[in-house]
A and B are shown apart, each in its own frame.
Chain A
Amino acid sequence: MAGIAVSTIINGDKAEFLCHADETLLDVLRDRLGLMGVKEGCGTGDCGACSIILDDRLVCSCLVLGAEAEARRIETVEGMAQGDKLHPLQQKFLEHAALQCGICTPGFLIAAKDLLAKNPDPTEEEIRFGLAGNLCRCTGYDKIVRAVQDAASVMRGA
């Protein structure tokens, strides 16, 4: 079966791939492009583990077809650190022990990045609502919320 040729920008770099019409962007990112940071949890948009930023908008990559990525910009967790320097959110997740098994963590980091891009100084309630689409069954949410609050203050230069 001939694939659909898709040209896109992933984490600032041009990327091209062939995919089937019924293949999700989540499957393309993991299986064809080797970006294993996107995790498959539920596959139905309920858990947020496969979160990416698509043209400045947070989405579940399991609810996007690979073919839809044509001429669009994708951000994944792999694009967060600059070389060896972690993104403030990644650094603060480590410092606050805001992760245990780690399956949900890339989705939380991406969702938090999108949240802080749109609202640099969120209240605790805004953080909790902003991350409600991401499920964590290990560490609970308090440490994650504290890590996001701390990262937000670092990113604001406070």
Chain B
Amino acid sequence: MRYVRPSTLEDAVGLLAEASGKAAVLAGGSDLLVRMKGGFVEPELIIDIKAIDALGHITESDEGFVIGAAVPCAVLSENAALRGAWPGVVEGANLIGSKQVQGRCTIVGNLCNASPAADSVPALVAAGAKVLIRGPAGSRTIAVETVPVGPGRTSLAPGEIIEAILLDRRQPRSGDAYQRFTPRTEMDIAVVSAAVNLTLDDQGVVQSARVALGAAAPTVLLVEEAAKILVGSRVDDRTLDRLAEACSGACRPIDDKRGTVEFRRKVAGVLAKRVALTAYQRAGQK
């Protein structure tokens, strides 16, 4: 195995594209090193992207936030502007592993690991986040929900690297939230999870919304039907009941020792109600 630490993204893309054997991109390593240790992957080349300066920063502009691929999740929660604008996104990132893991893991890694239960992904999908990709054919930008295509599989082409996550500039009267169900509060994997992002008009009525569910299908689910239920409402009890029903109905979860299909469906609805209320309250405060 070879370890390389390129200082430019062009070099990293070149190394990845030209690699003769299996190559792996290393940012936080909290998935890669575990998979290597378990013998599930044996890369011939490790490309550590942390020395690429632009990838290590969160930048805010008039267009929104650019979160570099090598930014550890712990840094997201330390960024007051990001926390204020996108609290749900930061909540998701803050639930991954422990303080130790958050010191290393990245949201791009969480996305590319493509676990259906990835904690940071539903909130990114609800937020309408985009990913900036650099590859041998140049740059492209795609919606975050199109990256995972199944457990452990992504839509990235050979030689492509995700450079950054892009979050739009926050509209006034907007809020987002993420919650998951786990048997214990820390160091656990979501049995099922939900994220809601919404914007209110100046009368306090939901103008636009996005609803996403995690661990409810082979990939994160964007539930458009649930979003339509929220739009035009003031998130009253009747709306929340219909939202829960839509989310439970949209689930296609697995049945295992951590939760039955029936349990996951039910909890998806309960969580969707809770996060919709939190997002609504947050939107009303801004």
List residues of chain A with CB under 8 Å of any chain B CB.
4, 20-22, 24, 43-46, 48, 51, 54, 57-60, 62-65, 67-68, 70, 111, 114-115, 129-130, 132-134
Contacts and interface: CB of A to CB of B under 8 A. Distances in A.
Given A4-B3, A44-B34, A64 B100 contact: no
Contact of B36 (A22, A57, A60): A22
A132 B29 contact: no
Interface of B: 1-3, 5, 26, 28-30, 33-34, 36-38, 46, 48, 50, 72, 74, 97-101, 103-104, 185-187
Contacts of B186: 129, 132-133
Closest 6 CB pairs of A and B: A133-B98, A132-B186, A21-B3, A57-B103, A59-B103, A21-B1
B98 A132 contact: yes
Contacts of B99: 58, 111, 114-115, 130, 132-133
B112 to A, nearest CB: 16
A60 B186 CA distance: 16
B29 A44 contact: no
From B5, B26, B30, B104, residue with most partner A Cβ within 10 Å: B104
B58 to A, nearest CB: 15
Contacts of B2: 21
A58 B48 CA distance: 19
B72 A46 contact: no
Contacts of B187: 46, 132-133
Nearest to B29: A63
A65 B46 contact: yes
A123 B62 CA distance: 37
23 contacts: A21-B3, A44-B37, A44-B38, A45-B98, A45-B100, A48-B98, A48-B100, A54-B103, A57-B72, A57-B74, A58-B99, A60-B100, A62-B33, A63-B33, A63-B34, A63-B104, A68-B26, A114-B99, A130-B99, A132-B186, A133-B97, A133-B99, A134-B98
B57 to A, nearest CB: 15
Contacts of A20: 1
Nearest to B44: A21
A149 B125 CA distance: 40
A68 B37 CA distance: 17
A64 B34 contact: no
Given A21-B2, A48-B100, 19 more contacts: A21-B46, A22-B36, A24-B33, A44-B37, A44-B38, A45-B30, A45-B100, A54-B103, A58-B103, A62-B33, A64-B29, A64-B33, A68-B48, A68-B50, A115-B99, A129-B185, A130-B99, A132-B99, A133-B187
From A54, A65, A134, residue with most partner B Cβ within 10 Å: A65
A67 B1 CA distance: 12
Nearest to B35: A44
A64 B37 CA distance: 12
Contacts of A132: 98-99, 185-187
A70 B101 CA distance: 20
Given A44-B34, A45-B30, A62-B33, A111 B103 contact: no
B1 A133 contact: no
A20 B1 CA distance: 8
B32 to A, nearest CB: 9
A128 B217 CA distance: 32
Given A21-B1, A67-B3, A132-B186, A59 B104 contact: yes
Contacts of B34: 44-45, 63
Contacts of A111: 99-100
Given A4-B3, A21-B2, A133-B187, A65 B29 contact: yes
B237 to A, nearest CB: 31
From B26, B30, B74, B100, residue with most partner A Cβ within 10 Å: B100
Nearest to A130: B99
Contacts of B101: 45, 60, 63, 133
